Amino acid sequence: MNKDELGGKLENLKGRTKEAAGALTGNKEKEAEGVVERVAGAVRENVGKAKDEVKRSAESSPRREESDDDE
């Protein structure tokens, strides 16, 4: 898990909390802020997962060396 995944999870949790608090108190503005934070957190988390996947893929694939056959 990288910092984007962790940050995304935390942001998602903050958003869910804010969304629930807004719904509980009838504060539509706070509820909407929570939805935005939750979605942003989910996006950030997925970006982190994608970065990890790219890194793993790059590490597992063999490196191609340039050849001098073109000369």
Is residue 68 assigned to a domain? no
Q: Considering its fold, how many domains does the chain have in total?
A: 1
Is residue 64 assigned to a domain? no
pTM: 0.76
For 19-50, write each residue's pLDDT tens digit: 999 999 999 999 999 999 999 999 999 999 99
How far, CA to CA in Å, does 59 sit from each of 20, 37, 41, 42, 43?
42, 33, 27, 26, 24
Which range of residues forms the domain containing residue 24? 3-59
Is residue 32 assigned to a domain? yes
Is residue 71 assigned to a domain? no
Q: What is the structure's pLDDT at 67? A: 56
How far, CA to CA in Å, does 36 sit from each of 1, 5, 15?
23, 17, 7
